[in-house]
Copies of this chain bind each other. A is one copy, B any other.
Amino acid sequence: MSKKKDIMDATLALIHEEGLQSVTFSKLFKRAGVGSGTIYNYFANKEELVNAVYKDARMLMGEYLLRDFDPQASLYERFKRLQLNRLNFGIDFPMEFLFIDSYSFSPYISSELRNMDDARNSGEVILSLIVEGQKQGIIKEMDSHLCHQLIHGIISSILKGLYIEKYPMNETQVQQVLEASWKAILV
């Protein structure tokens, strides 16, 4: 099991450092510290390996997005929790976040995987929250997917700026981002 983990970790790190297109098996073997044949005990081929790494990242993110999510909390509290979780996921797991963000639409990732439900179906949770807010007249009427994409996009973009150290990110900035994304969709 350890070898499998080593291989997957090395894969993610190399994709992060050099991009999927320049991850070769020989780099991978050296990085993971395994023999070149070992991978085939775990993965039928390179595509399967990359998809497995992708799936793990998606599962981890799905788990993370609903941490400390309290369905009983106020709409605003729930919204902030979801947005904060997404932001924190990106901060804590930059490699996973960027891999998902960059390659979700790559032909390398199978479409079933791309469209998979997250661990606890966080996608649905967010959409319902949006619809609920619109019913209450708090959130502006618009296509719920558009709205979802909008608030999701803010977090993604902010994270990418953060990764290249365009700006600092401490409690102040975090609150500014959360508020901005909330205000963006209010009526």
Contacts and interface: CB of A to CB of B under 8 A. Distances in A.
13 contacts: A17-B107, A19-B107, A21-B106, A21-B108, A102-B102, A142-B176, A146-B161, A146-B176, A146-B177, A150-B177, A153-B154, A154-B154, A180-B185
Contacts of A149: 157-158, 160-161, 166-167
A145 B164 contact: no
A125 interface: no
B153 A173 contact: no
Contacts of A20: 19, 21
Contacts of A18: 107
Contact of A184 (B17, B142, B167, B184): B184
A152 interface: yes
Contacts of A167: 143, 145-146, 149
Contact of A181 (B19, B102, B156, B184): B184
A72 interface: no
Interface of A: 17-22, 98, 102, 105-108, 140, 142-143, 145-146, 149-150, 152-154, 156-158, 160-161, 163-164, 166-168, 173, 176-177, 180-181, 183-186
Contacts of A168: 143
Nearest to A23: B21
Contact of A21 (B21, B150, B166): B21
A19 B142 contact: no
Contacts of A152: 157
A160 B107 contact: no
Contacts of A145: 161, 166-167
Given A146-B158, A149-B166, A150-B158, 12 more contacts: A19-B20, A102-B102, A142-B173, A145-B166, A146-B166, A146-B176, A149-B157, A149-B158, A152-B157, A153-B157, A153-B160, A181-B184
